[in-house]
């Protein structure tokens, strides 16, 4: 792409000097959806990486499938709705919804072919390890005898064949369900059609007992149904069965300003998620045209949204294989460490009063965070506890601790975000339990999701009231804390504590808070302050002072922020970006972004932390928080980004974590100007640097990290 051709130059109104310009051309942005597909391609590549244990590769393939399902439920559904409404407005990348969908379909078709090839390769390797996923014709007579018995005892009693004729309307097809379009022949009336849903309550892969304990053999449940279909249609001939699967729009829309009870409104909306319009119909190539037309007509699906699935549908079902007890085919167990400061047995409040404490999960345990919350709940000197909760596991120890604190007559207020996508039901359940125990529960601000991670403790001490804080980049979820990389920060900084108090007043009351001492809070001041600090870095570079930006995040989408980074690059600011998923920024373009490098790391752990480093003319600043540089995070969510002012902790994050990730030449990929990614390989005679492997070595490897990153 030659971005210097046919360019119109636009001066940034926020930059005083006129010599900083950007190309006023939509090609300077990568399409968001296509960038996401590139991310999922990187996940798929992990499934093909022979350096990984075999069942871990299967897990990556299942994650790829699950990711793609969600993509069609949320992102593609939005574009399809725009296309149906005739929306032709161009977004920042210059694509209309129709154009974007056409490119998405082409890319997805290629990815699915790669996924099918990956699964075929994995099956061959699994068989060598005596793990077999078989189609019916590959099974032994003994296997078939077992499956027939299993069908009669476990499957047949819960099946409901649904005829489709003038007396039987076409049934509802639920989201992501596997179905069989069954053609039967009646000796009296001729050919008939019925739909059979594969029971979602049963495992899709049926394990077949084997005489050899070292062998694991599985059959697809839809194959078993097909071979036993005559039991459901006695006296009729089963002509054929054709599997199909639908994906539906699952993006809940809630008119919050009209909802008297947000909890009940969201409960109703969750139920309606199963009835969203069809965004994708997967069918086998063997399905005859007459059956295809029947499905398209009754499902009211656009023919452009029909996909030929030449292979297994619903690859996410392969996650079941990872439950096989074969530790030799999985990652070795990893036990996180505990920071030395938190291993002394000292009272946690005394410790935090003297020291800020950083934890890097999952390399360092999330247990101290749980212990801090539980200790605060039990402490007789604690007067109030306030917390934001976005995603909680079903067995989380945190709500019981908060309920116990309320029983001890501590003032407890919790903001439970009911609109956390696909966690709504779990959060509703916890919200009800907290309310029943007497905890003050609020559901956030109208029109905004509360995505910040804040836990505030107000404690009476001899010197007076003191506030203690946990601030994080990840959710209060002990399960995901073992597989997501995040930062936790414990502090008693008075200004941050006061800011947290103002934040909760903003969330629970009618406060119109507009200023904070140290926190950057969306949608109040986060966008403005990040923009100001990027502009400040630009001015430092133009004045010859030290200027550098290191940003780590999950996604980089916001056009204003991207333009500011382009302008900083043109001024000579060295910019290093670590972006796990979507990036709409094009790095490395002469005259636009030649000083920007962007890498993505996909590995054993999901990179989830956000960090924003500013060299600031030699007076460096570092911020951590919950926000990505996306319009939704900057404008439509309550996010908290906070400064790390302790020089030792700041230098540790920059030198021992961010710089090591930037030097990664094993798991990292580099974003190219055309939107594709290439693996970064070690230069000849250079050391291999796998950042996640280095972090797993623990704090004793700090000096090694520093040497490796240089």
CATH number of the domain at 677, please: 3.30.870.10
Q: Please give the span between the terminal C-alpha atoms of the chain, in angstroms, as a whole number.
A: 33
Determine which one of 361, 451, 540, 652 is catalytic. 451
Q: Are residue 385 and residue 455 in the same domain, yes or no?
A: yes
Strand, helix or coil at 475?
coil
- Given 518, 536, 571, the domain boundary residue is 518
Nearest residue to 539 via CA among 564, 568, 562: 568
Note whether residue 335 is domain-resident.
Answer: no
pLDDT of residue 387: 95
Indicate the residue among 329, 356, 391 that finishes a domain. 329
State pTM to two decimals. 0.91
Check whether residue 324 and residue 453 sit in a common domain. no
All residue ranges of the chain with pLDDT < 70 are 1-24, 252-275, 419-424, 511, 699-710
Domain termination residue (choose one: 268, 303, 329): 329
Whole-angstrom Cα distance, residue 128 to residue 132?
9
Give yes or no: residues 474 and 528 share one domain.
Answer: no
Q: Are residues 536 and 656 in the same domain?
A: yes
* Best CA proximity match to 176, nearest among 73, 257, 79, 93: 73
687 found inside a domain: yes
In this structure, are 481 and 371 located in the same domain?
yes
Q: Is 512 found in the same domain as 483?
A: yes
Q: Collapse the DSSP code of 343 into the 3-class scheme (helix H, G, I; strand E, B; otherwise coil) and give the result.
A: helix
Q: Which domain holds residue 399?
A: 340-518
Residue 1 resides in a domain: no
Residues 256, 226, single domain; the answer is: yes
Same domain, 498 and 564: no
Contact by Cβ (8 Å): 175, 246 = yes
What pLDDT is attached to residue 9?
27
Identify the pLDDT of residue 362: 97
CATH of the domain at 309: 3.30.1840.10
**Residue 136 and residue 208 in one domain:** yes
**Same domain? 547 vs 644:** yes
- Whether 475 maps to a domain, the answer reads yes
Looking at the structure, tell me whether residues 498 and 527 fall in a common domain.
no
527 inside domain = yes
User: Has 148 been annotated as catalytic?
Assistant: no
Asked if residue 551 is part of any domain, the answer here is yes
Which residues sit opposite 220 in a β-bridge? 205
Q: Round to whole Å and give the CA distance between 493 and 132.
A: 57
Position 274 scores a pLDDT of 54
The angle at the Cα of 167, spanning 161 to 173, to the nearest 5 degrees, equals: 45
What SS3 state is found at 98? helix
For the chain, the domain total comes to: 3
Q: What is the pLDDT of residue 19?
A: 44
Query: What pLDDT shows up at residue 666?
Result: 95
CA 407 to CA 415: how far, in whole Å?
Answer: 18
2 in any annotated domain: no
Examine the domain organization and report whether 60 and 117 are in the same domain: yes
The helix (H) or strand (E) run that includes residue 276 is: none
């Amino acid at each position: 792409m030659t971005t210097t051709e046919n360019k119109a130059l636009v001066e940034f109104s926020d930059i005083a000097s006129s010599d900083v310009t950007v190309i006023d051309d939509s090609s300077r942005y990568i399409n968001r959806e296509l960038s996401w597909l590139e991310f999922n391609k990187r996940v798929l590549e992990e499934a093909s990486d022979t350096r990984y244990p075999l069942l871990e590769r299967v897990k990556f393939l299942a994650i790829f499938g699950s990711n793609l399902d969600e993509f069609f439920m949320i992102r593609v559904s939005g574009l399809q709705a725009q296309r149906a409404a005739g929306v032709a407005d161009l977004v920042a990348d210059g694509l209309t919804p129709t154009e974007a969908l056409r490119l998405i379909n082409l890319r997805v078709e290629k990815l699915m072919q790669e996924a099918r090839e990956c699964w075929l390769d994995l099956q061959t390797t699994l068989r060598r390890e005596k793990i077999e996923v078989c189609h019916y014709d590959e099974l032994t007579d003994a296997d078939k005898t077992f499956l027939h018995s299993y069908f009669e005892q476990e499957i047949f009693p819960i099946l409901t064949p649904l005829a489709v004729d003038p007396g039987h309307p076409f049934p509802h097809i639920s989201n992501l369900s596997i179905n069989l379009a069954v053609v039967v022949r009646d000796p009296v009336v001729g050919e008939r059609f019925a739909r059979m849903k594969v029971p979602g309550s049963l495992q899709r892969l049926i394990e077949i007992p084997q005489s050899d304990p070292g062998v694991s053999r599985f059959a697809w449940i839809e194959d078993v149904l097909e071979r036993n279909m005559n039991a459901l249609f006695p006296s009729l001939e089963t002509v054929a069965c054709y599997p199909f699967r639908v994906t539906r729009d699952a993006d809940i829309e809630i008119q919050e300003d009209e909802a008297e009870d947000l909890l009940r409104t969201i409960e109703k909306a969750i139920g309606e998620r199963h009835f969203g319009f069809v965004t994708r119909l997967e069918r086998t190539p063997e399905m005859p045209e007459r059956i295809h037309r029947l499905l398209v007509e009754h499902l009211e699906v656009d023919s452009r949204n029909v996909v030929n699935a030449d292979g297994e549908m619903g690859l996410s079902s392969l996650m079941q294989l990872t439950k096989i007890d074969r530790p030799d085919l999985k990652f070795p167990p990893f036990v996180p460490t505990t920071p030395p400061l938190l291993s002394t047995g000292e009272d946690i409040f005394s410790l935090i009063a003297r020291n800020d404490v950083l934890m890097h999960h999952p390399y360092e345990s999330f247990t101290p965070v749980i212990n801090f919350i539980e200790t605060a709940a039990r402490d007789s000197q604690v007067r109030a506890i306030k917390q934001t909760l976005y995603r909680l596991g079903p067995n989380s120890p945190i709500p019981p601790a908060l309920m116990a604190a309320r029983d001890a007559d501590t003032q407890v207020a919790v903001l439970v975000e009911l609109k956390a996508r696909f966690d709504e039901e779990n959060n509703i359940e916890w919200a009800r339990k907290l309310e029943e125990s007497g905890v003050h529960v609020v559901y956030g601000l109208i029109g905004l999701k509360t995505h910040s991670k804040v836990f505030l403790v107000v404690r009476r001490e001899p010197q007076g009231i003191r506030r203690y804080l946990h601030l994080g980049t990840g959710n209060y979820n002990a399960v995901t804390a073992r597989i997501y990389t995040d930062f936790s920060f414990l502090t008693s900084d008075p200004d941050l504590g006061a800011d947290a108090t103002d934040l909760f007043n903003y969330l629970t009351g009618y406060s119109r808070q507009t200023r904070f001492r140290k926190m950057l809070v969306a949608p109040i001041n986060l966008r403005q302050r990040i923009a100001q600090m990027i502009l400040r870095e630009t001015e430092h570079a133009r004045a010859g002072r030290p200027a550098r930006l290191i940003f780590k995040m999950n996604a980089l989408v916001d056009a204003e922020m991207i333009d500011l980074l382009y302008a900083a690059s043109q001024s000579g600011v060295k910019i290093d970006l670590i972006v796990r998923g979507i990036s709409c920024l094009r790095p490395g373009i002469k005259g636009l972004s030649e000083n920007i490098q962007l890498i993505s790391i996909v590995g054993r752990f999901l990179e989830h932390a956000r960090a924003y480093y500013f060299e600031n003319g030699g007076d460096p600043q570092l911020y951590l928080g919950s926000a990505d540089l996306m319009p939704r995070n900057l404008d439509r969510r309550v996010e908290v980004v906070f400064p790390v002012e302790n020089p030792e902790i700041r230098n540790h994050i920059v030198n021992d974590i961010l710089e090591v990730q930037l030097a990664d030449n094993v798991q990292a990929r580099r974003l190219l100007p055309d939107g594709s990614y290439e693996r970064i390989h070690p230069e000849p005679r250079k050391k291999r640097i796998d950042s996640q492997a280095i972090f797993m070595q623990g704090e004793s490897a700090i000096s090694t990290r520093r040497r490796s990153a240089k």
